[in-house]
Amino acid sequence: MCEFCKAGLPHRETGTSRRNILKSAMAGATAAALFPTLLNRSAEASELPKGVGTSGRRTLVKGGYILSQDPSVGDFVGDVLVEGKKILKVAPSVEASDAAVINAKGRVVMPGFVDTHHHQFETALRSFLPNGIMFADPTRSGEPNYLDDILGKFSKVYRPEDVYIAELFGGLSQLDAGVTTVLDVSQIHHSPEHSNAVIEGMKDVGRRGVFGYFEGYGPDLAYPQDARRIRDEYFASDDQLLTMLMGGEAYLPNIDPLDLWNLGKELDLMVGLHVVGSLGMQETMDRLIPHYTDKHLFIHMTGMSDRAWDRAKEVGAHVSLSVPIEMQMRHGMPPIQKAIDMGMDPSLSVDVECTMTSDFFTQMRSAITLQRAMANQQALEDGPENAPALLHARDVLKLATINGAKGLKLDHKTGSLTPGKEADIILLDAEALNVAPLNNAPGAVVTLMERSNVETVMVAGQIKKWQGQLVGQDIAALRDKITASRDYLFEAAGIEIPLFD
C-alpha cells in the first residue's frame, strides 16, 4: 500500500476497478474529516446581532487582531467595545456581559479605509478606458481618452437617474470592499437636480462621505452659486455621515479659481482641486501660492514646483495620491516620495473606475511597490545610505486610513480605533485560503488580502456588511438598473460598447 493510501488521502490511481472506486470514496471521507473547514465554506452566516448600532446598545467585537492606527492604543489581540455609534474601549480584554458579541477570532479588526478622491458618477463606465490616458496624443490616433470621451462625451448626457444609480452602486461596491469613507468628486453638476441625485445616492449607501461640489455642463448649470442652496438644504449640520467640500478647480474656462476658493471660505468648507502637471498647471498653482490654506486638498500634485510644495507644507494643505491612475494615465510620476520627504502624511484615493478598480488593497499595493521600486533602484545606483527609507506595510495602512481622515478633517470621528470616535470598523478574514496562516497582520492586509477578505463592515456602529454579505441590499435589482443606465449612456453618447476592443 502506498503512503497516500495509508493516510487515506486522494491521489492518482490507474484503472477504474471497484477497489479504486472504494479507495476514492474512503479518501474523500477521510479528507472531509481532516479538513472540515475547507469543505464546509458554504455554511450559512450566523444571524446579525439584533439592535447593533442603536442608541444605548453595546456590541463587543471580541478576540481579533487589532490594528488600531492609534499609537496611544496600540496593536494586539483583543476586543473593541462599541455603544451606539461610538467606540467605548479598545483593550486586550474587555468585560461587557450586556453586550452583543461579534466573534472576531482569526479576523483582523481595523478602521475602515478612507478614499480621498473618487469620481463615483463613472461607475456605469467601468473598464471602458483600460488602455486610455488622460488627454489626446497624436501617436494614439483613434484611441479614446479621458478628457475628450469621459468628460467631453459621456458626462454631458447623464440624467439625474444615471447619477443616482452610479452613486449608489459604486458606493455599495466600495462599502463591500471595506471603504467606509469617501470624498466623491462627481463632475456632473449640470443642474440642481443632478446635484441632488449625487447626495441622495450617497445617503442611500449609508456610509460616511464627503460630497465634492465640482463642475458641470449645459444650459441648466447652476455651478458654483448653487453651493449655497446645497449647503443650507443638505449640510446645515456637520454632525452627520455626509459633509460637503467645495470644488475649486484651477483649470476651468471663464472661472477664476479664487472665486471658487472664496465661496468655499464663505461657506466654511474645505476646497479640493485636481493639480496635474501634465495639464500645464504649474504656472497657475505658483500664481495661487499666497492663497493656499490648511483647508485645501490637492489631488495628484504631480509636476509642481518646489515653491508650491513648500507653501502647501507650510500652511498644512493635504495631498491625495491616486497612484495606479497617475501611473496609468500620464498625470506624471506619483509624488509619493516628495510628500513623504516633506512629512506631509499623504492619503490614497481611487480616482476613476473607467480605468482602474476602486478597492483599497490595489491602492495600498500600488503605493508600496512604487515607492520601494524607486528607493531600491536608488540604493543600487547610489548606495543604500543615499536612498530613501523603504515604506513598510504599517506605513501604507496609515495612508489608507488615518491620513485620509486627517485630510478630510474627519479624524475626530474616524480613521482609527480610538475610544470616543465613531465605530467605522472592518473585520478581515485572516483564516481564508489566501492568507492563512497569519504571521504578520499589517503585512497580510497590505500584501495578501483583497476584497473577498472583507467579512464584516460597520459604519458609525451600524453593520453594513455581515459575514460576507451586504445587509438590506438587492444587488441583482441594482445591477439591472446600472446596466440599463449604461446602455442609455453609450447610446446617448454615440459610442459602441467595446466589449472585445
> Is the predicted pLDDT of residue 87 greater than 70, yes or no?
yes
Question: 494 burial class (0-12, 13-18, 19+ CB within 10 angstroms)?
Answer: exposed
Q: pLDDT at position 193, please? A: 98
The model's confidence at residue 142, banded by pLDDT at 50, 70 and 90, is confident
How much is the average pLDDT of 431-444? 98
Q: Which tens digits make up the pLDDT trace of 228-285?
A: 999 999 999 888 999 999 999 999 988 999 999 999 999 999 999 999 999 999 999 9
Better-scored residue on pLDDT, 128 or 49: 128
Percentage of residues in the chain having pLDDT higher than 90: 87
Cβ-proximal residues to 50 (8 Å cutoff; 6+ apart), any chain: 100
How much is the average pLDDT of 140-169? 96
CA distance 401 to 135: 31
Which of 46-50, 146-150, 412-416 is the least confident region?
Answer: 46-50
The model's confidence at residue 45, banded by pLDDT at 50, 70 and 90, is low
The model's confidence at residue 31, banded by pLDDT at 50, 70 and 90, is very low
| Helix and strand counts by DSSP (H, E) for the chain | 15, 17
> What does the mean pLDDT of the chain come to?
92
Grid cell of 435 as nine digits: 492568507
Q: pLDDT at position 501, please? A: 80
CA distance 326 to 446: 20
Grid cell of 5 as nine digits: 493510501
Q: pLDDT at position 49, please? A: 80
CA distance 20 to 4: 13
Nearest by Cα to 62 from 77, 73, 72: 77
Domains of the chain: 3-40 (no CATH), 58-112+415-470 (2.30.40.10), 113-407 (3.20.20.140)
How much is the average pLDDT of 441-459? 98
Q: Are 52 and 59 in contact (CB under 8 A)?
A: yes
Q: pLDDT at position 33, please? A: 42
Locate cell 492518482: which residue?
12
How much is the average pLDDT of 484-501? 96
CA distance 70 to 66: 11
Better-scored residue on pLDDT, 11 or 204: 204
> Is the predicted pLDDT of residue 7 greater than 50, yes or no?
no
How much is the average pLDDT of 470-492? 97
The model's confidence at residue 363, banded by pLDDT at 50, 70 and 90, is very high
> Is the predicted pLDDT of residue 397 greater than 50, yes or no?
yes
CA distance 446 to 31: 32
| Distances, alpha carbon 491 to alpha carbons 130, 207, 448, 486, 501, in Å | 20, 32, 40, 9, 17
The model's confidence at residue 89, banded by pLDDT at 50, 70 and 90, is very high
Percentage of residues in the chain having pLDDT higher than 70: 91
CA distance 345 to 316: 10
Q: Are 343 and 309 in contact (CB under 8 A)?
A: no
The model's confidence at residue 91, banded by pLDDT at 50, 70 and 90, is very high
* pTM, to two decimals: 0.91
Q: pLDDT at position 334, please? A: 98
Beta bridge partners of 65: 77, 108
Better-scored residue on pLDDT, 392 or 2: 392
> Is the predicted pLDDT of residue 149 greater than 70, yes or no?
yes
Q: Are 346 and 319 in contact (CB under 8 A)?
A: yes
> Is the predicted pLDDT of residue 400 greater than 80, yes or no?
yes
